[in-house]
Structure 1
Amino acid sequence: MKISEYTAFDALGLAELVRRREVTPSELMDVASTAIEQVNPALNAVISSLRDDAERAIRAGLPEGPFTGVPYLVKDLGILVAGTPTGMGSRLFQGLVSSADDELMTRFRRAGLVSLGKTNTPELGLNVVTEPAAHGPTRNPWRPDRTPGGSSGGAAAAVAARMVPMAHGNDVAGSIRIPSSCCNLFGLKPTRGRVPTGPIEGEVLMGFATDHVLTRSVRDSAALLDAIAGPDAGAPYFTASGPRSFLEEARSPPGRLRIAFTDASWSGVPVHDECKLAVRRAAALCEQLGHEVVPARPEIAWEKVRIAFRMLLSYHAHMFDRVCPLYGLAAGRGTLEATTLTMAEAGRRMSAVDLHDVLVARDQLARQLGQFFTQFDALLTPTLATLPIPPGTLDADDPTVSAEGWLDRIFEFAAFTPLFNVNGSPAMSVPLHMSADGLPVGVHFAGRYADDATLLRLAGQLEQAAPWDKRRPGICAK
């Protein structure tokens, strides 16, 4: 198979070729490896190889799943791969090797995916761009002088450049949706509790974090969610799926939805004109498709969002003071970036009362948004407050920035996505717009808790009405 043929298919399309025996998993692995070798040097999206693991899996016989034989990449954060270091974008963890797959990796394998490598991520995911000191910056294939976003920036750059048809990501404040917007991809953050987090953690970052995938097609995202959704042993809670598969939902008409829209940020951060234009055009498209589109938004006190995200401070203080010593790891200026240390130090100063404030803010915001979504099926906003920014704009190794100041800085760029990690509802970035100077601009839809199906039906309809996959970046496998 030629690279030009390989890049024409999404993941389900490649899996169908394997099922029909028109191509073998080994052939797909080889062509994907060639694609990575061809474009990764310009992007720095893939930071380590899992080729030996992939070859062993193919020799042993891949399971029959929806993606059997499809090349894949996993993020170097939030997932454990047996026999492989999980560096988490940090110098501190480069030698930490997992003895077993975690549940999510087990489900990726069960779906038939062939993981060829690990993608770049900012240190511990504590940035909305991908520029870790450990591995250097990832570049945007649309414009290498701009960021692909973060924290799943390596995944986004790899998928946009056609190295693989889809790649693993995770999302604490927008880390699937932000890079999807920057790179002309579809990115769904599923509802809290839909994707397993075991066997080590029951609730990652107080429920703010979830895993899924960055894709070029809506159907790939839906089919992978079918493959990984559902509780694992010991899960503290889970979100049950509906009677139809998510893939069936993505292929079904959404009906007439009531969609609220706004282009103003809750924090008061100015919104770029191109991001506002993207929302207006998306609203008009939704109206043309028969939906009721209403200017409205939940009245949210942004200070509560800021309080809720203080959970990052306590979490990293616990990691460095309680978890790292168990592995003989010493956190310090030689192994961690300045803002990581600053945030952990602020976490050490938090009291039990402060931590309770986090939980109260989280639950109050969830109740407010829950009430809003009794009146609307979806809320449309920009994904980001501005266009993809140049590398170096958000320097995580700046010792002069306070913990609260760092959160404020990253939320100037990601002004819309974090809210929906707080309440746990599903949200997605849809690549409907390109700026006048050729940069991707995503629009963001959030929905009611547990109603991923409605968002996927809407996404499938939007993809048919305004297809985006024919657009290709300047740096692209071919």
Structure 2
Amino acid sequence: MDILEMDACAQSEALAAGTLSAVELMQPTLARIAAVNGTVNAIVSLRDSDALMAEARAADAAPRRGWLHGIPFAVKDLANVAGLPTSMGSPVFAGQVAAADDLVVARIRQAGAIFIGKTNTPEFGMGSHTFNPVHGATRNPYDPTKSAGGSSGGTAAGLASRMLSVADGSDMMGSLRNPAGWNNVYGMRPTWGTVPSEPVGDMFMHQLATSGPMARCPRDLAALLDTMTGADPRQPHGISPADTVPHLDAALPRQRVGWLGDWGGALPFEDGIMAISESAITQMQGQGHSVSRMAAPFDADLMWESWTTLRSFTVAAGLGDIHADPERRALLKEAVQWEVERGLAQQAMTLHRASVIRSDWYRRVLTLFDEVDVLVLPSAQMWPFDVDWVHPTQIAGVAMDTYHRWMQVTVPAGLIGLPVVNLPIGFGANGLPAGLQIIGPRGSDAKLLQFAQAWHQETDWPGQKPPKLPAA
């Protein structure tokens, strides 16, 4: 089997058994990057090949550190890797070299990964379309004229095009789900609090974003999730879940699936998205799961109000200092400036109302999980769009009033920190991939991965249909 077609866990097992060396894995990885990254632009800040080969030789000579020992790994360019640039896709930080690893990156390093570079992201991760003035646009491996999604677009495109076997990403508004769906891979937003953030700044008020894993199979998702998770004693809301890998192959009882569709007509979808989603729902029934078609369980407009208020508040808290400097403010893209200014204008009781709405939705979702085991929504409301767009301005004739309204379908889970896995569900008549979000209650990460594993064993869309890119 082609080494680069192997899942990360299979590569790991071969490395542990001595049937594959880190050098033998690094060589084709670098060749693949040389062959396809010029088209896809998923890997940025790639390290010198001689230095990487030297690290691979050192890994072969050293005791095994963990399951990622000797595996090439690229980190999303929002996180710090010691010695590598962290641009965040912004001219504000272009060329800035990190002095130390972020917490989650340190955990991945401890597991033995060899960091080869970074994966591309939109400016500050803002927007589900990966382009920025520092590194340019990441293109979809299934059609390089189209977007790879975002903000973990570089991660997803790197996996789909076989430059990476497993990788990290982050998710506030679908950033581990939309690009996974658009690149025919698996992405997971874990239960909020299981993967710690950096122990800096406020640690109580901002609970929207989280890091998580992305891969071409659920087993690799589970393995990387187990590496990334675990409470940090410096942070108050951490959760230390049980490892998910040992439970992955356990028999999954029949699941009660709640299909939310278009949220009672509140969410517009591009032609073909509902059809391919319905086909996947029928396939789930064929696997023995029961499906309930659910009415909209909560007011979509109220949820959007809460989301946009809290999101702008969070963005302003993170980027307000940059915005306050006129010279650096001028370097921020329009959407970032809009978010910061909106957040700075928020009043205390407006934020309180947004949090009350969020709390009401959380209480409502608890009753839903009395009726079903998982909730299901499409991972995006449209197909991958032209890579030259800034963002979509309409869906099915409905105008999008913000740069991120077209990703409203990702808000229900993100607003209240629920775990979600994107399932690849096949390809439309346009040849482009699509995905479904499977959403569980807080702490159900292992069960969602079991569900995904059963789906993967029957479908294996990433293996069935890789993108047609030049061979290394």
Task: State whether TM-score is above 0.5.
Answer: yes
How has the CA–CA distance of structure 1 residues 338 and 131 changed in structure 2, closer, same or farther, with 3 Å as cutoff?
same
Farther-moved stretch of structure 1 (46-55 vs 228-237): 46-55
Residue aligning to 2:405 = 411
How has the CA–CA distance of structure 1 residues 237 and 320 changed in structure 2, closer, same or farther, with 3 Å as cutoff?
closer
- Report matched runs for 1:163-182 at 5 Å: 163-182=163-182
Residue aligning to 1:230 = 230
Residue aligning to 2:368 = 372
Residue aligning to 1:348 = 344
Contact 1:102–1:199 under 8 Å retained in 2: no
Residue aligning to 2:396 = none
CA distance in 1, matches of 2:148, 2:201: 29
How has the CA–CA distance of structure 1 residues 349 and 329 changed in structure 2, closer, same or farther, with 3 Å as cutoff?
closer
Contact 1:7–1:477 under 8 Å retained in 2: no
Residue aligning to 2:317 = 318
Residue aligning to 1:41 = 38
Following superposition, the deviation at residue 5 of structure 1 comes to: 1.8
Contact 1:72–1:113 under 8 Å retained in 2: yes
Residue aligning to 1:303 = 301
Cα deviation per residue 1:221-276 (whole Å; 9 max; x = unaligned)? 0111112211013121123424xx31122222211111111321467232234221
How has the CA–CA distance of structure 1 residues 17 and 332 changed in structure 2, closer, same or farther, with 3 Å as cutoff?
same
Contact 1:205–1:312 under 8 Å retained in 2: no
Amino acid in structure 2 at the alignment position of 1:276: M
Structure 1 moving runs of 4+ over 6 Å: none
Following superposition, the deviation at residue 197 of structure 1 comes to: 1.1
Following superposition, the deviation at residue 475 of structure 1 comes to: 2.0
Amino acid in structure 1 at the alignment position of 2:367: Q
> Which of 444, 453, 457 is residue 451 of structure 1 equivalent to?
444
Contact 1:169–1:211 under 8 Å retained in 2: yes
Residue aligning to 1:246 = 244
Residue 114 (structure 1) aligned with residue 107 (structure 2): no
- Report matched runs for 1:395-406 at 5 Å: 395=391
Amino acid in structure 2 at the alignment position of 1:359: S
How has the CA–CA distance of structure 1 residues 66 and 202 changed in structure 2, closer, same or farther, with 3 Å as cutoff?
farther
CA distance in 1, matches of 2:300, 2:253: 33
TM-score by length of 2: 0.91
Residue aligning to 2:286 = 288
Contact 1:308–1:359 under 8 Å retained in 2: no
The residue matched to 1:381 in structure 2 has which SS?
Answer: strand
Percent identity over the alignment?
30
CA distance in 2, matches of 1:35, 1:274: 33
Amino acid in structure 2 at the alignment position of 1:435: G
The residue matched to 1:389 in structure 2 has which SS?
Answer: coil
> Which of 6, 9, 15 is residue 9 of structure 1 equivalent to?
6
CA distance in 2, matches of 1:21, 1:324: 52
Gaps of 5+ in 1: 399-404
> Which of 271, 274, 278 is residue 272 of structure 2 equivalent to?
274
Amino acid in structure 1 at the alignment position of 2:456: E
> Which of 420, 428, 444 is residue 427 of structure 1 equivalent to?
420
CA distance in 2, matches of 1:256, 1:146: 38
Amino acid in structure 2 at the alignment position of 1:67: L
Contact 1:250–1:459 under 8 Å retained in 2: no
Contact 2:45–2:84 under 8 Å retained in 1: no
Number of aligned residue pairs: 461
How has the CA–CA distance of structure 1 residues 415 and 352 changed in structure 2, closer, same or farther, with 3 Å as cutoff?
closer
CA distance in 2, matches of 1:415, 1:317: 20
Residue 21 (structure 1) aligned with residue 14 (structure 2): no
Contact 1:204–1:210 under 8 Å retained in 2: no
Cα deviation per residue 1:59-101 (whole Å; 9 max; x = unaligned)? 3747521221111111001x22113221111111124333211
Residue aligning to 1:72 = 73
Following superposition, the deviation at residue 466 of structure 1 comes to: 1.4
Following superposition, the deviation at residue 415 of structure 1 comes to: 3.1
CA distance in 2, matches of 1:62, 1:314: 46
Cα deviation per residue 1:98-120 (whole Å; 9 max; x = unaligned)? 32112101110122221211011
Contact 1:207–1:424 under 8 Å retained in 2: yes
Residue aligning to 1:261 = 259
CA distance in 2, matches of 1:296, 1:164: 38
How has the CA–CA distance of structure 1 residues 355 and 62 changed in structure 2, closer, same or farther, with 3 Å as cutoff?
farther
Residue aligning to 1:199 = 199
Amino acid in structure 2 at the alignment position of 1:140: N
CA distance in 2, matches of 1:44, 1:191: 30
Instruction: Give RMSD over aligned pairs.
Output: 2.5
How has the CA–CA distance of structure 1 residues 393 and 305 changed in structure 2, closer, same or farther, with 3 Å as cutoff?
farther
The residue matched to 1:284 in structure 2 has which SS?
Answer: helix
The residue matched to 1:96 in structure 2 has which SS?
Answer: coil
Following superposition, the deviation at residue 440 of structure 1 comes to: 0.5
Gaps of 5+ in 2: 394-398
Amino acid in structure 2 at the alignment position of 1:438: G
CA distance in 2, matches of 1:358, 1:323: 25
